[in-house]
């Protein structure tokens, strides 16, 4: 992983997030508390270079309003770690994260922490990104996520715990209520 690539990806994500959260739009209360979504990385890079596999998650999310234009998101998902060349199954992937959202109207800056399991490894992760609510039903997410291994890797002689990978991912979700009229 080159430092220049990492700085470029973080700068791009933060530029998009900061430019949209500063927009003045009429604030609206999002009454739908649950969401399901599909998430996959646009790119997935480990310390060897671009990875030969990728992950597709199916996420379930609970969204709680904290203050005006501030939300707490608790998200859990399960997915498949697939080979990029032929999309064959590689490993099961599990994901859990807590995100904080801040924004105006339909545009939100999203940041959070989480943990997971993928590619036969336990991981810790951070997330920074942008979230767009469309018509109080659809969710679009774009985010940058660095991951750190929580177990030593034998293929990494130097800094076995401080290695990992990073990804820019995109997600599309659908919001709904349970036991209430949508």
Residue 139 domain flag: yes
Q: Using one digit for the tens of pLDDT, what is the confidence trace for 137-150?
A: 899 999 998 888 77
Residue 135 domain flag: yes
CB 37 within 8 A of CB 155: no
Mean per-residue pLDDT, 173-179: 86
Domain total of the chain:
1
Look up the CATH number of the domain holding residue 160: 2.40.160.20
Angstrom distance (rounded) from CA 182 to CA 104: 22
Phi, psi of 3 (to 5 degrees): -60, -35
8: confidence class by pLDDT, cuts 50, 70, 90: low
Question: What is the pTM assigned to this prediction?
Answer: 0.74
The dihedral sign for the CA sequence 82, 59, 17, 162: negative
Residue 134 domain flag: yes
Q: Using one digit for the tens of pLDDT, what is the confidence trace for 27-60?
A: 444 577 889 998 887 776 665 555 666 778 899 9
Provide the domain limits for residue 114. Answer: 3-176
Residue 181 domain flag: no
Residue 13 domain flag: yes
Residue 81 domain flag: yes
Q: Give the per-residue pLDDT at 117.
A: 87
2: confidence class by pLDDT, cuts 50, 70, 90: low
Residue 106 domain flag: yes
Both tokens of 22, joined, read: 């500063």
């Amino acid at each position: 992983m080159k430092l220049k690539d990492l700085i470029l990806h973080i700068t791009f994500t933060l530029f998009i997030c900061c430019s949209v959260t500063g927009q003045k739009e009429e604030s609206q209360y999002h009454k739908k508390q649950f969401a399901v979504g599909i998430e996959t990385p646009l790119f997935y890079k480990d310390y060897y270079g671009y990875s030969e596999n990728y992950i597709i998650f199916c996420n379930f999310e609970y969204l709680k309003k904290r203050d005006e234009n501030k939300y707490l998101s608790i998200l859990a998902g399960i997915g498949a770690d697939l080979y990029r060349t032929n999309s064959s199954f590689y490993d099961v992937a599990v994901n859990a994260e807590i995100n904080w959202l801040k924004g105006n109207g339909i545009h939100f800056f999203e940041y959070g922490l989480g943990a997971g399991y993928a590619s036969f490894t336990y991981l810790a992760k951070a997330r920074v990104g942008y979230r767009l609510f469309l018509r109080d039903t659809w969710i679009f997410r774009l985010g940058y996520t660095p991951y750190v291994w929580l177990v030593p890797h034998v293929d990494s002689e130097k800094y076995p715990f401080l290695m990992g990978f990073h990804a820019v991912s995109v997600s599309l979700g659908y919001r709904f209520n349970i036991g209430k009229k949508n």
